[in-house]
Amino acid sequence: MARKKKDIVLENILIEDYAAEGKSLAKVDGKVIFVEQAVPGDVVDVRLIKNKKDWAEGFPIRYVSYSEERVTPFCSHFGVCGGCQWQMLPYKKQLKYKQKQAADNLERIAKVQLPEIQPIIGAATTQYYRNKIEYTFGTEAFVPKDEFVKLKATDTPNGATSDLAAGFHARGFWSKVVDIQKCYLQKEPTNELRLAIKDFAKENDYSFYNLRSHQGFLRTLLVRLCETGEWMANIMLGHDDKVKREALLDFILQRFPDITSLLYTINTKQNDSIYDLKPEIYYGKGYVIEKLDEFQFKIGPKSFFQTNTQQATRLYQVTRDFAELTGKEVLYDLYCGTGSIGIFCSKEAGLVIGVELIEEAIEDAKQNAMLNGLQNKTQFYAGDVIDICTEKFFTQHGHPDVIITDPPRAGMHGVLIEKINEIAAPVVVYVSCNPATQARDLALLNKKYEVTKVQPVDMFPHTLHIENVVQLKLRK
Ligand code: SAH
């Protein structure tokens, strides 16, 4: 062990297993060391960034030898781009580690009695699976270190050149953009469109947005591409310039005549968030229709929608199966977003009641209900779940037979968990994008509920994300 003050480097460390959140682990003298950017089987020299009594954390400064598990990443931007972090692992191994993480969380954090955890549902399509992508235009193209040494002296230091880039934020460098040639996350014409806009902008002297000075015309490009064949783009501009704007939008329409909606959004704020802005329709109806099973969903430039259509269908099928509906039940869909889970379950339920914080999402949910002819079977309410889901609310709308809950990463609020324990719906289905907070919440629900089924689902191949569906039943 080489040791300077505060600078601890552990040498020749064999990475033994996957831990969680992209970190693997090694054991040195009985102490667990969490290591980023390494996979089981790698032998590395690790520089520690945290060193506690029972555990430490670090990153590799040298790979002594690579794991036999590793495969060559298929994307040329791997490692630099903030996107798919697990391409060095075969998909089967990714699934194995996701399964393990879901199981570890339930065993170590929830500490409740568990049924056998069903094998994770992997994706049939592991590339081109996203229906939504947002690209960023920037003035500082990120250049990886090994390519950077080949650059000429006039280029600016610190891994950046003054070149224009269209792609994704570079990992760990907020102002720099990785200039993407080909992204494997979405079907064509996503790359063709981004490259065409970049070329057009360069040829016609359009400026790209500088993330430090907040100057520049082209900011971001949102592409939504649906299984129905409908697709749309929304271009965010730093200020309005009617002549330049129309020339660009006309060019896109002429070059991509099958686009179904084209929008632009003027954004003079410093951040990219679209929620307080007004997208303008330049061509088409301004939204796309996506389908999950027989249900249709209207998705606008601001709407939330599950980004992997095929796996969302699988996730919702599992959720619907776990709800064990017979056609009569009063079903509550908590954290319902644009109502998609409730609508997906509506044929098998008597009544669906959705609750969601964001008012615009509730508006979308109501429109989605109408689009599917379900206005008489569904009700949607905007507000915080802990304010809406009171004794009075449940009495007014009907005692819940089934509660489906799909909270954000932070999990459920303690007040809601207490309310679920009190209201005692016979079946609860807990859909989670964060198995750690889900496990914490299951421990609290254990007061009244037992875990009866567990089904992890992989929504995002080559990333670290895991979705997990749990069925809970009221103890007799
Ligand atoms: N079930 C939906 C969306 C799940 S994402 C789907 O599958 O598409 C989680 C949702 O919870 C988001 O829409 C978010 O706006 C909402 N949310 C977050 N905190 C909330 C709260 N305190 N009360 C109600 N909804 C909340």
Determine if ligand 1 sits within 6 Å of the CB of residue 336.
yes
Please, where in the chain does CATH 2.40.50.1070 lie? 132-292
* Cα 93–Cα 99–Cα 103 angle in degrees, nearest 5: 145
pLDDT tens, residue order, the chain (476 aa): 555 557 899 999 999 999 988 899 999 998 999 999 899 999 999 999 999 999 999 999 999 999 999 999 999 999 888 789 899 999 999 999 999 999 999 999 999 999 999 999 999 999 999 999 999 999 999 887 655 444 444 444 444 455 899 999 987 888 899 999 999 999 999 999 999 999 999 999 999 999 999 999 999 999 999 999 999 999 999 999 999 999 999 999 999 999 999 999 999 999 999 999 999 999 999 999 999 999 999 999 999 999 999 999 999 999 999 999 999 999 999 999 999 999 999 999 999 999 999 999 999 999 999 999 999 999 999 999 999 999 999 999 999 999 999 999 999 999 999 999 999 999 999 999 999 999 999 999 999 999 999 999 999 999 999 999 999 999 98
Determine if ligand 1 sits within 6 Å of the CB of residue 423.
no
Cα separation, 457 vs 412, in Å, equals 20
Question: Which of 132, 315, 357 for mutating ligand 1's site (highest number of atoms within 8 Å of CB)?
Answer: 357
Please, where in the chain does CATH 2.40.50.140 lie? 2-65
* Amino acid sitting at position 140: E
Which of 457, 426, 418, 454 minimizes the C-alpha distance to 439?
A: 454
The confidence score (pLDDT) of residue 2 equals 53
Among protein residues, the one whose CA lies closest to atom 13 of ligand 1: 337
Rounding to the nearest 10 degrees, give the CA dihedral for residues 192, 194, 198, 200: 60
Determine if ligand 1 sits within 6 Å of the CB of residue 197.
no
CATH of domain 132-292: 2.40.50.1070
Distance from residue 457's CA to the centre of ligand 1 (Å): 19
> For residue 311, what are the CA distances in angstroms to 75, 88, 163, 415, 460?
22, 22, 38, 31, 8
Determine if ligand 1 sits within 6 Å of the CB of residue 406.
yes
Distance from residue 338's CA to the centre of ligand 1 (Å): 9
Who contacts 146 (Cβ-Cβ below 8 Å, separation ≥6)? none
Determine if ligand 1 sits within 6 Å of the CB of residue 306.
yes
Give the CATH number of domain 2-65; options: 2.40.110.20, 3.90.550.10, 2.40.10.170, 2.40.50.140: 2.40.50.140
Element (H, E) at 153: none
Which three-class secondary structure state does DSSP give residue 321? helix
Cα separation, 470 vs 476, in Å, equals 19
Among protein residues, the one whose CA lies closest to atom 10 of ligand 1: 335
Determine if ligand 1 sits within 6 Å of the CB of residue 358.
yes
Q: Where are the alpha helices (DSSP H) in 133-277?
A: 145-148, 190-203, 242-255
Which atom of ligand 1 approaches the CA of 407 most closely? 9
Among protein residues, the one whose CA lies closest to atom 1 of ligand 1: 336
Please, where in the chain does CATH 3.40.50.150 lie? 96-125+308-474
Ramachandran category for residue 229: left, alpha or beta (phi over 0 → left; psi -120 to 50 → alpha): left
Cα separation, 464 vs 476, in Å, equals 37
Distance from residue 333's CA to the centre of ligand 1 (Å): 10
Cα separation, 337 vs 433, in Å, equals 14
Asked if 401 and 426 touch (Cβ cutoff 8 Å), the reply is yes
Determine if ligand 1 sits within 6 Å of the CB of residue 357.
yes
The confidence score (pLDDT) of residue 207 equals 96
Is-cis flag, bond preceding 189, omega within 30? yes
Strands (E) across 188-335 are located at 218-225, 231-237, 261-266, 280-284, 288-292, 295-299, 330-334
Query: Which residue carries 């500490």 as its tokens?
Result: 111
Among protein residues, the one whose CA lies closest to atom 23 of ligand 1: 384
The confidence score (pLDDT) of residue 173 equals 85
Distance from residue 259's CA to the centre of ligand 1 (Å): 30
Among protein residues, the one whose CA lies closest to atom 21 of ligand 1: 384
Distance from residue 269's CA to the centre of ligand 1 (Å): 25
DSSP 8-state class, residue 205: T
Who contacts 275 (Cβ-Cβ below 8 Å, separation ≥6)? 302
Of these residues, 81, 336, 345, 433, which one is catalytic?
A: 433
How far, rounded to the nearest angstrom, does the alpha carbon of residue 458 sit from its chain's CA centroid? 11
Distance from residue 433's CA to the centre of ligand 1 (Å): 11
Cα separation, 391 vs 11, in Å, equals 59
Determine if ligand 1 sits within 6 Å of the CB of residue 408.
yes
Give the CATH number of domain 96-125+308-474; options: 3.40.50.1000, 3.40.50.80, 3.40.50.150, 3.30.70.141: 3.40.50.150
Asked if 345 and 324 touch (Cβ cutoff 8 Å), the reply is no
Determine if ligand 1 sits within 6 Å of the CB of residue 170.
no
Determine if ligand 1 sits within 6 Å of the CB of residue 359.
no
Question: Which of 311, 355, 356, 358 for mutating ligand 1's site (highest number of atoms within 8 Å of CB)?
Answer: 356
**Token pair in block for residue 173:** 């460098």
DSSP 8-state class, residue 346: G
The confidence score (pLDDT) of residue 368 equals 97
For residue 261, list its beta bridge partners.
Answer: 232, 284
Instruction: Write b or e for each residue in 89-121: b if 16 or more Cβ atoms lie within 10 A of its Cβ, otherwise e.
Output: bebebbbbbbbbbbbbbbeebbebebeebeebb
The confidence score (pLDDT) of residue 147 equals 56
Determine if ligand 1 sits within 6 Å of the CB of residue 364.
no
The confidence score (pLDDT) of residue 170 equals 86
Asked if 23 and 104 touch (Cβ cutoff 8 Å), the reply is no
Determine if ligand 1 sits within 6 Å of the CB of residue 385.
yes
The confidence score (pLDDT) of residue 21 equals 85
Does the annotation mark 433 as catalytic?
A: yes
Distance from residue 380's CA to the centre of ligand 1 (Å): 13
